[in-house]
C-alpha cells in the first residue's frame, strides 16, 4: 500500500486506528492529526490515515512526542501525597493528572487505591483481566507498606499485628503476613488484603497511630529508587514476571 508520503506499507492496522487505540482522541481527530503532518511512524512522516502498519515494535510520534505501540498499558506510578486515586476527586487533584493525556483517554485505571495522604507504589492498567487478577480477593498478592507510627512500636504490638486484630465493623480478625522492625517508630507491614484504611485501623487496634504511610512493594516488585514522587513508567517484562509470580490462590 502506498501512502501520500510515498512510503510502502505492509498489511496491518490503519494509522488512524492505531492513534485512536493508543488514546489520541476520536477517529476524526486522529485523522486530522495525520493529515496535518503531525505524525511520524518509525522515523518517517506519514500523512495517510489509511496507511497500514504492523504494530509489533511500532514507534511513532505525535507533535514530536515519541510513543511506542502497546496493545495494553501496564504502568507503575510513584504517588505523591495530597493526590486522590479517583477521576472524581473531592479535595485534592487526581493522580490521573500525573499521566499523559493519551493514557487517561485510553482508560487506564489504578489497581486498588491509596489514601490521599499515602505515598508510594501504585499500579495502573487498561487490561481488565490483569486488574481483576491483581485486585481480586481470591488472590493473595502481598503488599508491603512502610509505616511511621506516632509512638514507638514494641514487640507486643508487632506480635498482635501478626496474630490478627479485630477491626470495627469486621466479624473476623485480620493478620499481617509479616511485620519487620525498621526503627523504633517505623515498621514494614505486609498485607494480603486491601480493606478501607486497613493499615491505619490495624495500628489503631494495637494502641498506636499512623503518622505516615508509604506503599513500597507489590508482590516482588519494589518501588524504584530512582522514580521520584509524581513520576511514572511502563512495566517491563521483568516487572510483570515479579507480579505474576506472587498471585497465590486462597
pLDDT digits (tens, 9 = 90+) for 215-227: 999 999 999 999 9
pLDDT confidence of 139, banded at 50, 70, 90? confident
The predicted model gives 161-186 an average pLDDT of 91
pLDDT over 50 at 148, yes or no: yes
Catalytic residue among 11, 47, 54, 115: 115
- Is 115 considered catalytic here? yes
Quick one: which of 36, 18, 39, 20 has its CA closest to 28?
20
Domain membership of residue 1 (yes or no) is no
pLDDT confidence of residue 202: 94
pLDDT confidence of residue 250: 37
Grouping H, G, I as helix, E, B as strand and the rest as coil, residue 98 is: helix
Task: Let me know whether 79 and 91 are in one domain.
Answer: yes
Q: What are phi and psi of 222, to 5 degrees?
A: -90, 150
Task: Let me know whether 164 and 225 are in one domain.
Answer: no
pLDDT confidence of residue 11: 55
Rank 84-88, 106-110, 133-137, 172-176 by mean pLDDT and report only the highest.
106-110
pLDDT confidence of 245, banded at 50, 70, 90? low
pLDDT confidence of residue 9: 45
Task: Let me know whether 177 and 198 are in one domain.
Answer: yes
Question: What gap in Å lies between CA 156 and CA 159, rounded to an integer?
Answer: 5
Domain membership of residue 2 (yes or no) is no
* Torsion over CA: 185, 181, 190, 153 (sign): negative
Picking from 46, 68, 90, the residue at the C-terminal end of a domain is 68
Domain membership of residue 6 (yes or no) is no
CATH number at residue 184: 3.30.70.1560
pLDDT confidence of 8, banded at 50, 70, 90? very low
Q: What is the mean pLDDT of the chain?
A: 90
Domain membership of residue 78 (yes or no) is yes
194 vs 1, 43, 112, 238, CA distance in Å?
A: 52, 45, 7, 25
Task: Let me know whether 214 and 226 are in one domain.
Answer: no
Q: Is the pTM of this model over 0.85?
A: yes
CATH number at residue 234: 3.30.70.580
Task: Let me know whether 226 and 126 are in one domain.
Answer: yes
The predicted model gives 201-220 an average pLDDT of 95
pLDDT over 90 at 134, yes or no: no
Task: Let me know whether 200 and 235 are in one domain.
Answer: no
pLDDT over 80 at 194, yes or no: no
Task: Let me know whether 241 and 207 are in one domain.
Answer: no
pLDDT confidence of residue 193: 81
pLDDT over 50 at 6, yes or no: no
> Residues near 104 by Cβ (< 8 Å), separated by ≥ 6?
23, 96
CATH number at residue 32: 3.10.290.10
Question: What gap in Å lies between CA 133 and CA 240, rounded to an integer?
Answer: 12
Question: The domain containing residue 114 runs over which residues?
Answer: 74-137+221-249
Q: What is the pLDDT of residues 76-116, one digit of tens each?
A: 999 999 999 989 877 899 999 999 999 999 999 999 889 99
Task: Let me know whether 149 and 200 are in one domain.
Answer: yes
pLDDT confidence of residue 77: 98
Domain membership of residue 191 (yes or no) is yes
pLDDT confidence of residue 192: 87
The predicted model gives 170-194 an average pLDDT of 92
pLDDT confidence of residue 170: 78
Task: Let me know whether 133 and 172 are in one domain.
Answer: no
What's the total number of domains in the chain? 3
Domain membership of residue 4 (yes or no) is no
Per the model's pLDDT, the better-predicted residue between 195 and 118 turns out to be 118
Domain membership of residue 194 (yes or no) is yes
Specify the residue for cell string 493519551: 102
Task: Let me know whether 28 and 80 are in one domain.
Answer: no
pLDDT confidence of 205, banded at 50, 70, 90? very high
Task: Let me know whether 152 and 165 are in one domain.
Answer: yes
Task: Let me know whether 61 and 118 are in one domain.
Answer: no
Amino acid at each position: 500500500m502506498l501512502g501520500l508520503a510515498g512510503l510502502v506499507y505492509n498489511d496491518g492496522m490503519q494509522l488512524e486506528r492505531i492513534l485512536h487505540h493508543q488514546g489520541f482522541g476520536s477517529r476524526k481527530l486522529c485523522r486530522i492529526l495525520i493529515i496535518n503532518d503531525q505524525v511520524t511512524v518509525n522515523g518517517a512522516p506519514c500523512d495517510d490515515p489509511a496507511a497500514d502498519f504492523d504494530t509489533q515494535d511500532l514507534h511513532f510520534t505525535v507533535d514530536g512526542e515519541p510513543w511506542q505501540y502497546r496493545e495494553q498499558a501496564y504502568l507503575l506510578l510513584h504517588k505523591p501525597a495530597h493526590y486522590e486515586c479517583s477521576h472524581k476527586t473531592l479535595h485534592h487533584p487526581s493522580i490521573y493528572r500525573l499521566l499523559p493525556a493519551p493514557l487517561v483517554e485510553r482508560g487506564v485505571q489504578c489497581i486498588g487505591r491509596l489514601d490521599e495522604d499515602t505515598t508510594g507504589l501504585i499500579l495502573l492498567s487498561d487490561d481488565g483481566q490483569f486488574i481483576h487478577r491483581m485486585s481480586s480477593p481470591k488472590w493473595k498478592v502481598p503488599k508491603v507498606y512502610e509505616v511511621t507510627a506516632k509512638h514507638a512500636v514494641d514487640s507486643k504490638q508487632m506480635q498482635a499485628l501478626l496474630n490478627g486484630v479485630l477491626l470495627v465493623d469486621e466479624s473476623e480478625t485480620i493478620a499481617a503476613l509479616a511485620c519487620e522492625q525498621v526503627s523504633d517508630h517505623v515498621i514494614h507491614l505486609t498485607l494480603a488484603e486491601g480493606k478501607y484504611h486497613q493499615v491505619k485501623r490495624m495500628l489503631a487496634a494495637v494502641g498506636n497511630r499512623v503518622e505516615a504511610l508509604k506503599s513500597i512493594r507489590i508482590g516482588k516488585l519494589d518501588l524504584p529508587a530512582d522514580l521520584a514522587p509524581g513520576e511514572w513508567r511502563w512495566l517491563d517484562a521483568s516487572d510483570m514476571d515479579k507480579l505474576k509470580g506472587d498471585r497465590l490462590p486462597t
